[in-house]
Amino acid sequence: MSKGKVLVGLSGGVDSSVSALLLKEQGYEVEALFMKNWDDDDGSPYCSAKEDFMDAAFISDQLDIPLEQVSFSKEYRENVFSYFLQELEAGRTPNPDILCNKEIKFKEFYRYAMSKGYDFIATGHYAHTDNKDLYKGIDNSKDQSYFLHAIDKSVLEKTLFPLGNLKKEKVREMAREKGLVTSDKKDSTGICFIGERPFPEFVSNYLTGEAGNIVNENQEIIGSHSGLVFYTLGQRQGLGIGGVKGAPDLPWYVAKKDLSTNVLTCVQGNDHPLLFSNELSTKNIFLLEKSLPESFEGTAKVRYRQKDQECKINIKGDRMFIKFSSPQRSVTPGQSVVIYNGDKCLGGGEIESIN
């Protein structure tokens, strides 16, 4: 007897391929959907939508499951991309992958599946759920709960993460054993609509940067930038600053962006004090655990794959204030901080300011 009808998001990668395989082996009635979230496929090596769809089609044939393609491009531009540009103009560095999960993969995709009579949706994310709660995947190097913290619990209740209890090596091994065409396909590392193309090159198609000065911590001019929208805190590459007397080989890093003066502050050495902060405040918080106390101790991470950092968490209305036990490097406004109790994800918020 079938465990239910599930629509799996088939991206054309090995993770979603093995997810579909496992669901079928577990007794679900499986069908697949390829989400097209970006229309501008220019055929460049950076844009792989066409190739990914062909791989998804091959997998659906191999697993003998129906596949359809649905475009959520309009919703993506309105609810993800427009916010991405807005945040860049405000001097922050947004994380569109988190917003894509919240607004597209676990809202529009979910709504589509429910409207078609499916019992569940499924993806190839490394995480798992238990009674509506979200937990880390067991593979610490691949855990993706950071990107999933803003999903509504009612959606989590209807979501299956078949890879949550597997390590990546095992997933590829299973794909090879079954002869799946995606078994050795390289993981996608680019932002979902940008791909792996150079970030400034892509952003310059939509935003115009105003050139300005680059200064050091003593406010001495050491170079020029092409526009603050093209830089993020902690950035090392693409600064165009040479060495200085006494430290010619010590690299430079972005430490501050000042929109009021259009000045970019850079410092030498990845351990420079101006790169570190130990307090932050957030906006747009989303809590998966609704009964949290106003103040408590837990752990948090300010970027994907960062180890959990001990901290004190204060929640006041729609804002969250976090003080870390030790200074954190390159905490970046616009990115997300996600809080945990052990392996349980409690939610998170967008970093608004740092101290």
Q: Indicate if 67 and 118 belong to the same structural domain.
A: yes
Q: Which of 100, 266, 311, 345 is catalytic?
A: 100
Lowest mean pLDDT among 137-151, 159-173, 239-253: 239-253
Range(s) of the domain holding residue 63: 5-177
Q: Indicate if 228 and 84 belong to the same structural domain.
A: no
Nearest to 148 by CA among 97, 79, 80: 97
Q: Indicate if 15 and 37 belong to the same structural domain.
A: yes
Which stretches of 116-218 are DSSP H helices? 145-148, 153-156, 168-177, 199-203
> In CATH, what number is assigned to the domain containing residue 300?
2.40.30.10
Say what the pLDDT of residue 47 is.
58
| Distance of alpha carbon 281 from alpha carbon 293, whole angstroms | 17
* Mean pLDDT of the chain, nearest integer: 92
Q: At residue 24, what are phi and psi to the nearest 5 degrees?
A: -65, -40
242 contacts: CB under 8 Å, gap ≥ 6: 248
Q: Indicate if 231 and 116 belong to the same structural domain.
A: no
Q: Is residue 219 part of a domain?
A: yes
pLDDT tens figures, 145-158: 999 999 999 999 99
What is the pTM assigned to this prediction? 0.92
Q: Is 246 helix (H, G, I), strand (E, B) or coil?
A: coil
Average pLDDT, stretch 225-232?
Answer: 94
Question: Does the active-site annotation cover 100?
Answer: yes
| Distance of alpha carbon 92 from alpha carbon 332, whole angstroms | 7
pLDDT band at 38 (very low <50, low <70, confident <90, very high): confident
The strand pairing partners of 253, in sequence order, are 267
Say what the pLDDT of residue 115 is.
98
Q: Is residue 185 part of a domain?
A: no
Instruction: Say if residue 185's pLDDT is above 60.
Output: yes
Q: Indicate if 134 and 266 belong to the same structural domain.
A: no
| Interaxial angle between packed helices 14-25 and 168-177, expressed in degrees from 0 to 180 and rounded to the nearest 10 | 70
Q: Which of 47, 192, 266, 311 is catalytic?
A: 192
Question: Does the active-site annotation cover 192?
Answer: yes
User: What does the longest C-alpha to C-alpha distance in the chain come to?
Assistant: 74
Average pLDDT, stretch 153-169?
Answer: 96
What's 13's DSSP letter? S
Handedness of CA 34, 38, 41, 45 (dihedral sign): negative
The strand pairing partners of 7, in sequence order, are 31, 121
Which stretches of 6-152 are DSSP H helices? 14-25, 49-63, 73-76, 82-89, 96-100, 109-115, 145-148
Proportion of the chain above pLDDT 70, given as a percent: 93
Q: Scan for tokens 């993506």, then name that residue.
A: 76
Average pLDDT, stretch 330-348?
Answer: 96
Lowest mean pLDDT among 8-17, 42-51, 168-177: 42-51
Q: Indicate if 159 and 301 belong to the same structural domain.
A: no
| Interaxial angle between packed helices 14-25 and 49-63, expressed in degrees from 0 to 180 and rounded to the nearest 10 | 20
Q: Is residue 80 part of a domain?
A: yes
Domains: count for the chain: 3
pLDDT band at 192 (very low <50, low <70, confident <90, very high): low
Q: Is residue 343 part of a domain?
A: yes
Instruction: Say if residue 248's pLDDT is above 60.
Output: yes
Strand 344-354 and strand 276-287: pairing?
antiparallel
| Distance of alpha carbon 334 from alpha carbon 229, whole angstroms | 12
Strand 319-329 and strand 295-301: pairing?
unpaired
